[in-house]
Each structure stands twice: as structure tokens, then as C-alpha cells.
Structure 1
Amino acid sequence: MMKRQKGKGLLCVLLAGIVTFTGCSAGGAENPGTGNEEQGSGSTYNFRLAETHPADYPTTKGDMKFAELVKEKSGGRITIDVFPSAQLGEEKSAIEQVQLGAIEFTRVSTGPMAEFNKDFGVFSLPYIFNDDNHVWKFLQSDGGTKLLDSLESSGLKGLTYYSSGSRSFYSTKPLTKLEDLKGMKIRVIENKLNIEIMKALGANATPMAYGEVYSALQTGIIDAAENNYPSYYSSKHFEIAKNYILDGHQRVPEVLLVSKQVWDTLSPEDQAIVKEAAVESTAFQREEWAKYEKESEEQVRAGGAVITEISDADAWKNAVKPVIEKYRSEYGEILDAIEQAKAE
């Protein structure tokens, strides 16, 4: 405990020169002397939002729309500066700083969120969503809201979800059906679940850093990898692994977070402004993602990639049933809510 407090104090000292939002140890005290009390409009705040992706990426554009809406709805009292390209740290570091209140907001993938709230691990399970429409039916249902609310026990407040499409396989070898994966060496993110998924599909999982994938595909160390359309394009993996099959095995959304410490210092009126702006920014971010995804698809097709739609989704789902059942006791309630959303 002493070690944690010491680290927290050091973080405040290091940030003191750049954080305009005072009260680091309190994680959200109002900025004294900058309020608009004379206009009767409440306190003035200047917050920061940590973003991993570059300024032109759809999630960053969503962050900026959120900041714009907050400023507009608060009459300029609440401003949020967005820091793209991991200027304030990569996702795990950003989450930890938001927990402390050292950074007020961040946008992260729900993937690393499982380390802070185990329920978010459900999004790594394969083929639990039929399509993007099914994803959003769940995210905008009571089940999706309940999942966001559960973050409060981790020192975080979930504000809204953002889109990140679906992950599919691409290979240097022909890839048009499930059987083609048999024996393939496929790069995966290093975690137990992804390794189990590859085994269930008949492939050999090869954990590897993302930055090493291009050369590994080029030299034959791996046969395949998996990701969404924009990453397939921006990484230039399509130049080598020209066979892309749209199996959509994982759909891992993004989440916009605020520090629970900071949230609790805001008035109910300001909390409503922040929440409303976050929810409204979602539609804009989804539109930006859809455009970015379409542009990426057009580019990889123009670059000679062979795109295959899967003809039998049930075959892929049946192959990974043992993986789903293994984790059903852990995620049963959420999986039921996801299944219910499909029928709505």
C-alpha cells in the first residue's frame, strides 16, 4: 500500500507542470479561480483525454467530437484537450492513470479492459456476434449499459462505446474456407484465449508483437494473421498476405472512459452534460469508422487482395463451441444478454 501511494504522489509531481486541472491526489477537484460563477453557470474545467491512435483515426475523431459537444453544451465552461498518438501513454498506462485521476478521460479498446474488469473479456470470445448490427443491439441494450456501469468498481466510469469493426484472417496461402486454416501458422495477440481459438480452428497459434508481423509474413515464419480492414491496409500486410476471408471471428468495441474520482466531483448537471455528449458522439464515430473501413477495403482490393465472404458461418461457430462452453460459466449472464439482443 505504501508503495502505491508513493507512486501516485510521484505521478502528481511529474504532471504538475502540464496539468491545468488541479487536485491530482483528489482526482478531480475543481480548478480554483477559473470558474464562471459571476454568470451563474458553474465551475470551469480543463480536462485531458488520452488516445492511442493518430489524429485522423476514427476513434480520435470521435474523441474530438465528444470534446466539441462538451464545450458547446457547457457554454465553454468545460474543455477537453485530446492527446492522440499515445502522447500520454499506451492504453494500459492510460487506463491506470485515469484510475488515479491523473488523466481525466481516455478512449481504449475493450480488449485490455479485461485486465481491469474481467467481464470485458467476453468480447474476445469468437463468433458471439452475427454482425455489426448485432453488436450494437447488445451495446445499446440494458446488458451493454450494465457492463459499462460495472467499471465503477474499478475506479472508472464508462461513458459510451465506439466502433472498431471485426477481425478476420488473412494469409499468404489460398484462404477461402475453414479447412484452409488447418496447419497454418497464424500470428495472434499473446493470450490464452486466442491460442485456444486457433487450436479449435485447426491452426497453430504463433504469438508475436504486431510490429514483427510484416517481416514474419514475408519470410514465411508465419502463414497468416488476423485483424480488421483498416489495420490490414495501414500495416501494408495486404501486400504480402493477399488472401483475406471475412469470417469476423472477433468484434471488440472501443470504450470512452472518465476517472470515477473526477466524475464524483462534478455536479449532477455537469455529469449530465458529459454523458449526453459522449452518447451523441457515438453516432459520429460510427459514421467515421464506416467511411474509414470502406476506404481501406477499396485500397486493399486495388492492391490485389482477394476478398472472400464465408459461405457457412455455422461451420466456423461449431468449430469453436468447446471454447465458448469452457468460458460459459464465467460469462454466462453476458452471453445470454448478447443472445437476447440478437432476437430483438
Structure 2
Amino acid sequence: MTVTVLALAGMAAAQALELRSADIHPKDYPTVKAVEYMGDVLKKKSDGRITVKVFSGSALGSEDDSIEQVKLGALAMARVSSAAMHNICETTRVPSLPFLFRSVEHQHKVLDSDIGKQILKSCEDAGFVGLAWYDSGARSMYTKNKPVKSVADVKGMKIRVQQSDLSVAMVEAIGANATPMPMGEVYTALKTGLVDAAENNFPSYDSGHHFEVAKYFSLTEHTMTPEILVFSKRQWDKLPEADQKLIREAAQESVPYMRKLWAERELKSRAVVEKGGAQVIEPDKASFQAVMKPVYDRFVTTPEMKDLVARIQAVK
């Protein structure tokens, strides 16, 4: 009897699964809290057998570091900007195209549809299982020395961008000089004058304290690059189908929770930065849109990508 009980206990312990996940954002950030929420859902669905441990605040390195660890199977998951996946899984470039989405509602409708599922699935050949899309708001330009009111104002500026060819090309298209660098280096780069400007959403502008050194926030809203939650295909393929199903379900359940937190955080962050002295400017967006054709010509290169863009633009 004792042997049987011990054997059963051993089997239960063997089936216990802790999923390690990474995020560069601080512990209170919506993406971190969303993955923790996913962990709570998963723990409940699996009767405590499957748990998630989130390493936030760049504890495991940059987004590129996290992606590499996920690919190798050293990490189960990572929440990264889809921009960090552009050179790994080319269809992820599509949701990052400038001025593609007409509104947040349009973006949600697209990403929740078969279009969003198709893009997530396309990353499997590169070693990643796409679990969910999270919000990252609209990215806008913020500058250190002068406000940006039209595309003419950015000519010759050194602008920090994400480490993505698409981000670089977009900045080059507006006549500025792109400086790719990790998020963690942006504050110092702005403060020391290594760059004149950066581009991001209100929560990152706030949480990175960039508003302290770059006071002019211009609502260009040039891209709505979503966040993506990716799982290691190496680890995924070793999991029972039932566990894969539970993980997918928990990830999807975290999406509306994340969106709610995001909307609240955007409003809160805008209030924080304005109170901290940031000036929010309404620029001439059309002047930016007018110079984006070369970006589409360069990056929308395959029949699949062209079809995705056409289908996204057709979504009402």
C-alpha cells in the first residue's frame, strides 16, 4: 500500500510543470500582470499542476536575449514586442506597418480574427508557438529639444528605434537617422544627447522615465505594433496535447484582462507625464503618412504579406 501511494505521489510530482517566462517591463506593467494572470488561470485549470513564473524588469536580459532563450528551450515563454520578431518571422512585420490600423478597435478586430491566428502560426517554422497578442497602444514620437508638428521637423534628427529593420526604414523614410538600441539604454541616450528623440507609447514613456529628459510628446501614432506572447516550440512539442490546450486557453483568457489593464494604464501614464511637465502635441499626421510608400514597397514582399495587408485594410 505504501509503495503504491509513493509511486502515485512520484507520478504527480513528475507531471508538475513550472513555465518560466520573461519580460523586460517592470512588475506592475500590464504585460507582466497579464502573464501572471495567465498563470493563475492555468494553475486553476490544472488543479495546481501547471504554474507560471514571470521574470520581469529585464531580469533575464533584453528582448533579443529572451527570444534566443525561448528558441533554445531554456525558457518556456517570453512576452516581447512583435518588432523583435520581424527578422525571425517575417509576417510579424505586417501588424507593425505604419498607419495600417485605423483605430484600436480595428486592430483588435484584426488580431482576434483568422488573420491574427495566421500570423501567430507562421512563427512555428522559426521555433516559436504564438499564443496571444497583447496591446502596446499607438507609438508616437517624443523629442528632447523641440516639438514635432510635421514630418519636416524631424529631418536630420537621431531617433532611437527598436532593433528592427522595419523601424529603421520608417525613420529613414521621414528623413531622420535611426539609432537602434535596447529599451534599457534609451533614458541615458536621451539624457546625454546620443539621440534627439525616441518613439513609444505613453506607458513606456512613463515607466522608462523618458518624459524627464524628452518633454515633447507628439501624437504621431505612426504604428500600433502589438506585443506577442511566444512559447518555445522545443518545449511545446514535448508537452501532452491536453497541456498544450490548457496553455492556449489560459493565454487567450489573459487577453481581455491585459487590454483592460492597458487602457487604464494609458490614461494613468498620460496624466503622470503631463503632470511631470510633458507637452502633448497634435501633429500633422498626413505629412507622415505621405512618405510611407517606400516602407510598404520594401517590406510587403511576399504574396502572403500582400494578401494579409489587403485583408486587414478590408476589415470594417
TM-score category of the 2 structures, normalised to the smaller one: 0.7 to 0.9
- 1:9-28 to 2 correspondence within 5 Å? none
Would you say how many aligned residue pairs link Structure 1 and Structure 2? 305
**Distance apart, 1:90 and its partner CA:** 2.9
Which of 52, 71, 90 lines up with 2:43 in the alignment? 71
**Distance apart, 1:45 and its partner CA:** 2.2
Q: Are 1:185 and 2:162 matched, yes or no?
A: no
One-letter amino acid of the counterpart of residue 12, structure 2? G
> 2: CA distance between counterparts of 1:199 and 1:118?
20
> 1: CA distance between counterparts of 2:206 and 2:272?
7
The equivalent residue for 1:304 is: 277
Stretch of structure 1 that moved more, 212-221 or 273-282: 212-221
Matched residues, percent identical? 43
Q: Are 1:46 and 2:23 matched, yes or no?
A: no
> 2: CA distance between counterparts of 1:96 and 1:185?
28
One-letter amino acid of the counterpart of residue 275, structure 2? A
> 1: CA distance between counterparts of 2:20 and 2:233?
14
Give TM-score, length-normalised by structure 1: 0.80
Query: How large is the RMSD of aligned CA atoms in angstroms?
Result: 2.5
> Cα–Cα, structure 1 residues 289 and 45, in superposed 2: closer, same or farther, change >3 Å?
same
> 1: CA distance between counterparts of 2:177 and 2:239?
50
The equivalent residue for 1:237 is: 210
SS at match of 1:241: coil
> Cα–Cα, structure 1 residues 318 and 77, in superposed 2: closer, same or farther, change >3 Å?
same
The equivalent residue for 1:337 is: 311
The equivalent residue for 2:243 is: 270
Q: Are 1:317 and 2:294 matched, yes or no?
A: no
SS at match of 2:133: strand
The equivalent residue for 2:88 is: 116
Which of 246, 254, 266 lines up with 2:227 in the alignment? 254
> 2: CA distance between counterparts of 1:211 and 1:83?
16
> 2: CA distance between counterparts of 1:246 and 1:200?
18
The equivalent residue for 2:10 is: 33
The equivalent residue for 1:85 is: 57
**Distance apart, 1:225 and its partner CA:** 2.1
**Distance apart, 1:126 and its partner CA:** 1.7
> 1: CA distance between counterparts of 2:32 and 2:188?
28
> 1: CA distance between counterparts of 2:128 and 2:181?
30
**Distance apart, 1:215 and its partner CA:** 5.0
> Cα–Cα, structure 1 residues 225 and 101, in superposed 2: closer, same or farther, change >3 Å?
closer
Q: Are 1:100 and 2:72 matched, yes or no?
A: yes
Which of 267, 273, 289 lines up with 2:262 in the alignment? 289
One-letter amino acid of the counterpart of residue 340, structure 1? A
One-letter amino acid of the counterpart of residue 257, structure 1? V
SS at match of 1:35: helix
SS at match of 1:82: strand
> 2: CA distance between counterparts of 1:55 and 1:293?
16
> 2: CA distance between counterparts of 1:123 and 1:196?
15
> Cα–Cα, structure 1 residues 193 and 157, in superposed 2: closer, same or farther, change >3 Å?
closer
Is contact 1:200–1:320 with CA below 8 Å preserved after alignment? yes
SS at match of 2:146: coil
Stretch of structure 1 that moved more, 101-110 or 136-145: 101-110
The equivalent residue for 1:162 is: 134
Unaligned residue ranges in structure 2 (runs of 5+):
1-8
SS at match of 2:308: helix
> 2: CA distance between counterparts of 1:245 and 1:90?
27
**Distance apart, 1:262 and its partner CA:** 2.7
SS at match of 1:33: helix
SS at match of 2:221: strand
The equivalent residue for 1:22 is: none
Stretch of structure 1 that moved more, 224-233 or 140-149: 224-233
What whole-Å deviation, never above 9, does each CA across 1:220-250 have from its counterpart, x for those lacking one?
A: 5543221111222233332332221111112
The equivalent residue for 2:5 is: none
The equivalent residue for 1:326 is: 298
**Distance apart, 1:209 and its partner CA:** 5.7
> 2: CA distance between counterparts of 1:282 and 1:141?
14
**Distance apart, 1:118 and its partner CA:** 1.9
What whole-Å deviation, never above 9, does each CA across 1:153-177 have from its counterpart, x for those lacking one?
A: 1222111111111211112213223
> 1: CA distance between counterparts of 2:254 and 2:164?
32
Is contact 1:111–1:123 with CA below 8 Å preserved after alignment? no
Unaligned residue ranges in structure 1 (runs of 5+):
1-31, 38-42
One-letter amino acid of the counterpart of residue 291, structure 2? A
SS at match of 1:265: coil
**Distance apart, 1:145 and its partner CA:** 0.2
> 1: CA distance between counterparts of 2:260 and 2:215?
27
Q: Are 1:205 and 2:178 matched, yes or no?
A: yes
